[in-house]
A and B are shown apart, each in its own frame.
Chain A
Amino acid sequence: MTAPSLSPEDFQPLQSSVSGQQLSRPSLSYWADAWRRLKENPRAMASLGLIAFLLAFVSIGPYLWQVDPSAQDLDQIGIGPGADRSVTLAAPFQPWLPEQQATTLDDNMLGFTLAMPATTQAVRLVWTMENGTRYRLYRNLFDPSDTGSFGLPLAELDRSYFEDRLDLQAGTYYYSLVMLNADGSETTSTVTKDIQVTRVISAAEALQRGLIESEDDAQLGMALELAWHPLGTDYLGRDMLARLMYGGQVSLFIGLFAPLAFVLLGVIYGSVAGFLGGATDQAMMRFADFVVALPFLLFMILFKVIFGIGPGESGIWPMLVAMIILLWPAPARLVRGQILQIREEGYVSASRLLGGTTTYVVGRHMLPNTLGVILVTITFQVPSAIFTEAFLSFIGMGVAPPTPSWGAMCNEGIKSMLTRPHELMFPALLISITVLAFNLLGDGLRDALDARMRGAE
Chain B
Amino acid sequence: MSEPLLQVENLHVDFQTYGGVVQAVRGVSFDVFAGQTLAIVGESGCGKSVTVQSLMGLIPMPPGRIHQGSARLRGQDILASKMIAGQDIRGSQISMIFQDPMTSLNPTMNVGSQIAETLEVHRGYSKSEAFARAIELLDMSKIPEAAKRAKQYPFEFSGGMLQRAMIAMAIACEPAILVADEPTTALDVTIQAQILDLLGDLQKETGMAIILITHDLGVVARMADEVMVMYAGEVVEKGSVDDIFYRSGHPYTQGLRQAMPTNNKSTEAEQTLVAIDGSPPDLFNPPRGCAYHPRCPYAMQVCAQQAPPTSILGPTHQTQCWLHHDMAGALPDGLVSGNEAGR
A touches B in complex, CB < 8 A:
yes
Contacts of A27 in B (CB 8 A): none
Q: Does B302 contact A (CB under 8 A)?
A: yes
In the complex where A3-B306, A23-B282, A457-B18 touch, is A14 in contact with B295 (Cβ < 8 A)? no
Complex: how many Å from CA A25 to CA B305?
A: 22
Interface segment, A4-12, A182-190, A408-416? A4-12
Q: Does B4 contact A (CB under 8 A)?
A: no
CB of B204 within 8 Å of the partner chain = no
Is residue A17 within 8 Å, beta carbon to beta carbon, of the partner chain? yes
Say yes or no: is A100 at the interface (Cβ < 8 Å to chain B). no
Distance (whole angstroms) from the CB of B281 to the closest CB of chain A = 7
Contact at B305–A10, with CB atoms within 8 Å? yes
Please judge, given known A-B contacts A3-B306, A19-B287, A25-B19, whether A13 and B299 are in contact too, CB under 8 Å. Answer: yes
Question: Hey, which chain B residues are within 8 Å of A11, CB to CB?
Answer: 300-302, 322, 325, 327-329
B38 to chain A, nearest CB (A): 27
Cβ of A23 and Cβ of B299 under 8 Å apart?
no
CB contacts (< 8 Å) of B246 on chain A: these are none
**Interface flag for A2 (CB, 8 Å):** yes
Q: How many residues of B contact A (CB 8 A)?
A: 29
Q: How far is the CB of B294 from chain A (nearest CB, A)?
A: 4
Whether B17 pairs with A10 at a CB distance below 8 angstroms is no
Asked whether A13 and B19 contact (CB < 8 A) given A3-B306, A20-B278, A23-B279, the answer is no
In the complex, the answer to whether B325 meets A1 with C-beta atoms within 8 Å is yes
Known: A20-B294, A457-B17. A6 touches B279 (CB 8 A): no
Q: Which residues of B contact A22 (CB under 8 A)?
A: 282
Residue A24, interface by CB 8 Å: yes
Whether the Cβ atoms of A14 and B299 lie closer than 8 Å is: yes
Q: Which residues from B are CB-within-8-Å of A24? A: 282
Per the bound structure, the CA–CA distance linking A99 and B164 in Å amounts to: 109
Q: In the assembly, what is the distance between CA of A85 and CA of B293, in Å? A: 82
Q: Which residues of the partner chain B approach A23 to less than 8 Å between Cβ atoms?
A: 278-279, 281-282, 294
* B102 interfacial by beta-carbon distance below 8 Å: no
Contact flag A19-B301 (CB < 8 Å), given A11-B329, A25-B19: no
Q: Are B304 and A14 in contact, CB atoms less than 8 angstroms apart?
A: yes
Complex Cα distance A161/B18, Å?
A: 80
With both beta carbons as reference points, the residue of chain A lying nearest to B280 in the complex is identified as: A23
A44 to chain B, nearest CB (A): 15
Which range holds the interface residue count of chain A?
A: 10 to 19
Taking a contact as CB atoms closer than 8 A, the residue among A1, A9, A14, A19 that contacts B309 in the complex is A1
Given the interface pairs A23-B278, A457-B17, the reply to whether A17 lies near B322 with Cβ below 8 Å is no
- Of A6, A17, A20, A457, which one neighbours B302 at CB under 8 angstroms? A6
Q: Hey, which chain A residues are within 8 Å of B301, CB to CB?
A: 9-14
Contact digits for A364-377, partner B, Cβ 8 Å, 1 yes 0 no: 00000000000000
CB-contact partner of B327 in A2, A8, A13, A20, under 8 A: A8
Which residues of A have CB within 8 Å of B298? 13
Cβ-based interface call for B188 (8 A): no
Interface string of B51-66 (1 = CB under 8 A from A): 0000000000000000
Chain B positions 127 through 169: 1 when the CB is less than 8 Å from some CB of chain A, otherwise 0: 0000000000000000000000000000000000000000000
Is the Cβ of B294 less than 8 Å from the Cβ of A13? no
Checking A2, A9, A12, A14 against B293 with a beta-carbon cut-off of 8 angstroms, the contacting residue is A14
Contact A14 B303 (CB under 8 A): yes
Q: Mark B312-333, 1 if CB is under 8 A from A, else 0.
A: 0000000000100111110000
* B328 with A20: CB separation less than 8 A: no
Check B300–A13 contact: CB distance below 8 A.
Answer: yes
Closest to A456 in B: B17
- Chain A contacts to B: CB under 8 angstroms: 1-3, 6, 8-14, 17, 19-20, 22-25, 457
Of the A-B pairs whose beta carbons lie under 8 Å apart in the complex, a sample of 18, sorted by A's number, is: A3-B309, A6-B327, A11-B322, A11-B329, A13-B299, A14-B304, A17-B294, A17-B295, A19-B287, A19-B293, A19-B294, A20-B278, A20-B294, A23-B279, A23-B281, A23-B294, A24-B282, A25-B282
Excluding A11-B301, A11-B329, 12 further A-B contacts by CB distance (< 8 Å) are A6-B327, A9-B301, A10-B301, A11-B322, A11-B325, A13-B300, A14-B301, A17-B293, A17-B295, A25-B19, A25-B282, A457-B17
> Nearest 7 pairs between A and B by C-beta?
A20-B294, A10-B302, A14-B299, A10-B301, A2-B309, A19-B294, A11-B300
